[in-house]
């Protein structure tokens, strides 16, 4: 087993033993509850409500997990001094960051996939037709998690956990508004404001282009090319953010 | 000729502390030392002397402000510098969600070990530190001494050429301390270089081949334990029976003190006068029943060095 894989598995083991999987069961209960709720109060749009609610809860839990796990890990390693026994080994700090990132990502993706399986199972159980749009929406949630986990790690390399959480949550909301920012920048009368708006658009992750939940609700299909481009975009964004995180972490002192 | 295990030259480290009112703290102030391969090298110093900072720089946990450091000829920032190094930090904190066996296995994998060699080696070091029975319990259930033992095992698992031990006997009972001493001596026999940093001076005195005393981020004494403890101003103590008042009076100029005990005298004199005093005593009917040279201890030497430096203990951050 090489060092990177050892770090990845260690991260996954950490999350598993810290009982993150409880979240999955919470989601399962939420889904069951939502189904009962939907059956009681809907007549003709049952499938839409189910899809909307299921994907929404899944996305919310995945984003919550991605942000809190990614921003907590590095500050906790430094504060508890567990990093001394790992960083003093013959591995680069970049490998450490990448290994820990992949370990966290593996945990969040695992939990998200279990939630997705529950969601699809419930759709099938209720006799709601499954479409390509549903799977595209799930892929979108996974891609969003890839980006947000990387952003969380970036902030955690130089800031405390609280600052890192706040900043990543800020990135999440701004990331969903970045297209609006671009439109506003194009309409801005001031060149400076326009420039700043465009800079923010390129700097922030465009999370709207990874959000296919609404299309799933209305069974509006997402093309393979769009899905491919979104995958390439989110992976590229995550790689760039991680590279910056590694560069910052290489320079950090562990007192 | 092989390169030194550790080379440190003009090393300085300045920390910025405080949030609003940032102030500079000098943790290292031009430290230079060399550790040859195969020796047990002791680092002594009061709290905040810069010992841990030096170790952290060597292990790339902290970057120096200026100066050079080399581990087996490599800069600490290069992975090669840590290829053959095992580290036991002060107050070690292994991942508490792992079992002792998993902690040591992780260290083996991060140290480059793989395949079927890992499990037997992990079992071997766990047995060596007396943790076989508790190896499959999670670290969160360990006592401080057990954590120290498992952390020592993870430092040893890759059979390092350089073993860096920061307060290795801290938190250990008498048996644990003896175990650490035995392991350190075994490692030296194997040819391992050991950098031994401890507040427990008798451990340093009994184990180390060379010792460096670091105070205020500077090297103030360095040498073999024998050379450091060699004392040109040592006194000789002679217990003498039957020394007449006349003989004692004649020797008075050479004696530092004379103490009358029951039926005998305890004479203290400078070692430069030993030949004259002893010859004069033997020429009479006096009988010398005990003769010894007063020996300075490493502890006395350390306290003297601290006193001379004018440093207050704990006046710097560690």
**Please, how many CA atoms are within 13 Å of residue B111, restricted to the half-sphere of its CB?**
25
Q: In the prediction, which pLDDT does A34 show? A: 72
Q: Strand, helix or coil at B142?
A: coil
Chain B closest-CA separation from residue A83 CA (Å): 8
Pairwise CB contact (< 8 Å): B85 & A88: yes
For chain B, say whether A36 makes contact (Cβ under 8 Å).
no
Predicted confidence (pLDDT) at residue B246 exceeds the cutoff of 50:
yes
Predicted confidence (pLDDT) at residue B15 exceeds the cutoff of 60:
yes
Q: In the prediction, which pLDDT does A36 show? A: 67
Phi/psi at A30 (5° precision): -60, -40
Q: Give the β-pairing of B40-44 and B193-197.
A: parallel
Nearest C-alpha in A relative to B105 = A6
What is the rounded distance in angstroms from the CA atom of residue A118 to the CA atom of residue B102? Answer: 33
For chain B, say whether A13 makes contact (Cβ under 8 Å).
yes
Contacts of A253 (CB under 8 A, 6+ apart): B15, B61, B62, B63
Predicted confidence (pLDDT) at residue B267 exceeds the cutoff of 50:
yes
Pairwise CB contact (< 8 Å): B60 & A87: yes
Q: Which two tokens stand for residue A231?
A: 């995958």
Confidence of residue B103 (pLDDT cuts 50, 70, 90): very high
Own/partner pairs, B304-310, CB within 8 angstroms, 24+ separation: B305/B213, B305/B215, B305/B220, B305/B221, B306/B46, B306/B215, B308/B220, B309/B215, B309/B216, B309/B220
Q: In the prediction, which pLDDT does B1 show? A: 55
Q: In the prediction, which pLDDT does A150 show? A: 97
Condensed to tens digits (0 to 9), the pLDDT of residues A183-220 reads: 888 888 888 888 888 888 888 999 988 999 888 888 88
Predicted confidence (pLDDT) at residue B313 exceeds the cutoff of 60:
no
Confidence of residue B199 (pLDDT cuts 50, 70, 90): confident
Across A61-65, A181-185, B100-104, B273-277, which has the greatest mean pLDDT? B100-104
Confidence of residue B302 (pLDDT cuts 50, 70, 90): confident
Predicted confidence (pLDDT) at residue A2 exceeds the cutoff of 80:
yes
Condensed to tens digits (0 to 9), the pLDDT of residues B26-82 reads: 889 999 999 999 999 999 888 888 899 999 999 999 999 999 999 999 999 999 999
Window A:79-118, CB contacts with B under 8 Å: 80-92
**Neighboring chain A residues of B87 at a CB cutoff of 8 Å:** 84-85, 88
Q: Among all chains, which residue has been given the structure tokens 């390693």?
A: A77
Distance of CA A109 to the CA centre of its chain: 9
Chain A closest-CA separation from residue B53 CA (Å): 8
Condensed to tens digits (0 to 9), the pLDDT of residues A72-99 reads: 999 999 999 999 999 999 999 999 999 9
Nearest CA to A152 among A72, A90, A251? A72
Predicted confidence (pLDDT) at residue B309 exceeds the cutoff of 80:
no
For chain A, say whether B101 makes contact (Cβ under 8 Å).
no
For chain B, say whether A19 makes contact (Cβ under 8 Å).
no
Predicted confidence (pLDDT) at residue B315 exceeds the cutoff of 70:
no
Q: Which of A43-47, A231-235, B157-161 has the lowest mean pLDDT?
A: A43-47
Torsion of CA B85, B89, B92, B98, to 10 degrees: -20
Average pLDDT over all residues of chain A: 88
What is the rounded distance in angstroms from the CA atom of residue A132 to the CA atom of residue A121? Answer: 15
Pairwise CB contact (< 8 Å): A251 & B94: no
Count of C-beta atoms within a 10 Å radius of residue B259: 11
Q: Among all chains, which residue has been given the structure tokens 């995180």?
A: A245
Predicted confidence (pLDDT) at residue B318 exceeds the cutoff of 50:
no
Over residues B79-94, the mean pLDDT reads: 93
What is the rounded distance in angstroms from the CA atom of residue B315 to the CA atom of residue B217? Answer: 11
**Please, how many CA atoms are within 13 Å of residue A51, restricted to the half-sphere of its CB?**
25
Q: In what order do the strands lie in the sheet with B193-197?
A: B85-88, B162-166, B193-197, B40-44, B210-215, B218-224
Predicted confidence (pLDDT) at residue A32 exceeds the cutoff of 70:
no
Over residues B6-26, the mean pLDDT reads: 85
Own/partner pairs, B158-161, CB within 8 angstroms, 24+ separation: B158/B84, B158/B86, B158/B107, B158/B108, B158/B111, B158/B112, B158/B113, B159/B190, B160/B84, B160/B85, B160/B86, B160/B192, B161/B5, B161/B37, B161/B72, B161/B84, B161/B85, B161/B191, B161/B192, B161/B193
| C-alpha to C-alpha distances, A18 to A107, B24, B283, nearest whole angstrom | 11, 39, 83
What is the rounded distance in angstroms from the CA atom of residue B171 to the CA atom of residue B22? Answer: 34
Confidence of residue A43 (pLDDT cuts 50, 70, 90): low
For chain B, say whether A226 makes contact (Cβ under 8 Å).
no
Q: ipTM value of the model?
A: 0.86
For chain A, say whether B106 makes contact (Cβ under 8 Å).
yes
Condensed to tens digits (0 to 9), the pLDDT of residues A129-154 reads: 888 999 999 999 999 999 999 999 99
Nearest to B61 among A18, A84, A92 (CB): A84
Chain A closest-CA separation from residue B270 CA (Å): 48
Q: Which of A27-36, A79-88, B171-180 has the lowest mean pLDDT?
A: A27-36
Residue B314 φ/ψ region, left for φ over 0, alpha for ψ in the -120 to 50 degree band, beta for the rest: left
């Amino acid at each position: 087993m090489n060092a990177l894989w050892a770090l990845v598995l260690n991260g996954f083991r950490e999350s598993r033993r810290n009982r993150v999987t409880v979240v999955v069961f919470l989601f399962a209960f939420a889904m069951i509850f939502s189904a009962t709720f939907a059956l009681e109060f809907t007549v003709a749009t049952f499938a839409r409500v189910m899809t909307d609610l299921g994907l929404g809860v899944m996305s919310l839990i995945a984003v919550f997990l991605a942000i809190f796990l990614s921003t907590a890990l590095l500050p906790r390693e430094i504060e508890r001094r567990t990093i001394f026994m790992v960083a003093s080994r013959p591995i680069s700090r970049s490998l450490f960051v990448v290994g820990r990132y992949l370990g966290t990502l593996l945990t969040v993706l695992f939990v998200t996939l279990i939630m997705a399986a529950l969601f699809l199972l419930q759709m099938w159980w209720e006799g709601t037709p499954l479409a390509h749009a549903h799977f595209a929406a799930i892929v979108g949630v996974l891609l969003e998690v890839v980006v947000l986990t990387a952003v969380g790690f970036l902030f955690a390399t130089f800031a405390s956990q609280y600052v890192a959480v706040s900043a990543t949550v800020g990135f999440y909301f701004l990331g969903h508004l970045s297209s609006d920012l671009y439109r506003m920048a194009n309409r801005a009368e001031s060149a400076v404001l326009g420039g700043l708006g465009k800079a923010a658009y390129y700097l922030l992750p465009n999370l709207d282009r990874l959000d296919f939940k609404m299309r799933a609700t209305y069974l509006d299909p997402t093309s393979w090319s769009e899905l491919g481009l979104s995958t390439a975009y989110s992976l590229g964004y995550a790689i760039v953010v991680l590279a910056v995180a590694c560069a910052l972490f290489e320079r950090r002192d562990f007192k | 000729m092989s390169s030194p295990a550790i080379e440190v030259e003009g090393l300085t480290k300045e920390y910025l502390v405080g949030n609003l009112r940032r102030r500079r703290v000098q943790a290292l102030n031009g430290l230079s030392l060399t550790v040859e391969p195969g020796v047990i090298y002791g680092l002594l110093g009061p709290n905040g002397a810069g010992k841990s900072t030096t170790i952290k720089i060597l292990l790339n946990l902290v970057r120096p402000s200026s100066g050079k450091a080399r581990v087996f000829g490599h800069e600490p920032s290069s992975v090669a510098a840590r290829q053959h190094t095992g580290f036991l930090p002060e107050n070690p904190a292994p991942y508490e969600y792992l079992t002792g066996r998993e902690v040591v296995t992780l260290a083996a994998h991060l140290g480059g070990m793989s395949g079927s060699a890992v499990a037997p080696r992990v079992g071997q070091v766990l047995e060596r530190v007396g943790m076989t029975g508790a190896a499959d319990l999670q670290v969160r259930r360990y006592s401080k001494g057990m954590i120290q033992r498992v952390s020592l095992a993870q430092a040893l698992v890759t059979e390092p050429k350089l073993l860096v031990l920061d307060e290795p006997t801290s938190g250990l009972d008498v048996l644990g301390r003896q175990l650490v001493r035995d392991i350190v001596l075994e490692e030296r026999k194997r040819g391992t270089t050991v950098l031994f940093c401890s507040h427990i001076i008798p451990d340093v005195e009994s184990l180390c081949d060379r010792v460096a005393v670091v105070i205020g981020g500077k090297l103030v004494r360095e040498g073999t334990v024998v050379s450091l403890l060699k004392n040109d101003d040592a006194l000789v103590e002679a217990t003498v029976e039957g020394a007449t008042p006349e003989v004692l009076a004649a020797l008075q100029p050479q004696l530092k003190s004379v103490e009358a005990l029951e039926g005998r005298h305890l004479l203290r004199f400078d070692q430069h006068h030993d030949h004259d005093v002893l010859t004069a005593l033997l020429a009479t009917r006096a009988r010398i029943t005990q003769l010894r040279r007063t020996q300075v201890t490493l502890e006395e030497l350390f306290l003297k060095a601290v006193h001379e430096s004018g440093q207050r203990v704990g006046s710097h951050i560690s």
